Structure 1
Amino acid sequence: MAWTDYSSAPKPGTRVAALADIQGATTQMLVTDRGEFPMLLVRVGTKIHAYVNACPHQYLPLDYRGPQILTADGARLMCTGHGAQFEAATGEPLSGADCALDRVPLVIKDEAILIGED
């Protein structure tokens, strides 16, 4: 499923957060532009990546059973529901799932994180 297939998917240009507010390696949030859209922001180096916070295997939030979803080395995201692992920078599956996380495009403008165009 593509992120735009969700009925609550925000429109391009929707403000997600202030860049300064993203302090940790992962940030889970609900974007409420058109309903509750579960997003996961992941900082990898100097870049911020965004995914729908839903495991493509079971559609439960990756942090369903707890907030520790990033491996100690910061390279992989883990589904707390069943242990699937995904590349943090791309969302591609590494183990436990056969499809990638739904990536959400971002744009940084005037120190704000916005939903980008696909």
Structure 2
Amino acid sequence: MKWSDLRAAPAPGTVVLQDAPAAPALSLTVTSEAGDFPLLVVRTAQGVSGYVNMCPHQFLPLDHRGGQLLSKDGEKLMCSAHGAMFDAATGEGVAGEGLGCALMRVPLETVEGQIRIARAAPEG
């Protein structure tokens, strides 16, 4: 399944943030005509990445049981429900229940300082 297959997936071009996130990881809800969409925006050395805020095991938001999204080293996203860990830059599972899985990547772009759902990017 791709992120864009989800019922509430926002259309390409939808603004998700007015400017770059100050926090290294941010959980937010993007509200559009399609509905409310759970999004993670993550800032790493590789740039800004977006993921559906949904653990691939329990389909709960990664921050369901608390607001701590990143590991101490800032390199991994953590599921607060059961400890699965995912590489913050790629979304690939790196530890625990995350091994062999990946978060659904949402393509983002920066246009005139705004973070938006990318208009033309590979999905994954």
Band the TM-score falls in, shorter-chain normalisation: over 0.9
Any idea what the Cα deviations from partners look like across 1:24-70, whole Å, max 9, x if unmatched? Answer: 11111111112000000011026111000000111100000001120
- 1:11 pairs with 2:24: no
Equivalent position to 1:108, from 106, 110, 115: 110
In structure 1, distance between residues paired with 2:2 and 2:94? 19
Give the match for residue 70 of structure 2.
Answer: 70
TM-score (norm 2): 0.90
> What amino acid maps onto 1:59 in structure 2?
F
For 1:90 and 1:19, the matched residues in 2 are separated by 22
Whether the aligned pair in 1 keeps the contact of 2:46 and 2:89 (CA below 8 Å) is no
Aligned length, in residue pairs:
117
2:106–2:117 Cα contact (<8 Å) kept: yes
> What is the Cα-based RMSD across aligned positions, in Å?
1.1
What one-letter code is carried by the residue in structure 1 that aligns with 2:5?
Answer: D
TM-score when scaled to structure 1? 0.94
| CA apart distance, 1:75 | 0.5
Contact 2:71–2:77 under 8 Å retained in 1: yes
Separation in 1 of the partners of 2:4 and 2:86?
20
Partner residue of 1:32? 31
Identity across aligned pairs (percent)? 48
1:59 is matched with 59
CA distance in 1, matches of 2:75, 2:92: 11
SS state of the match for residue 4, structure 1? Answer: helix
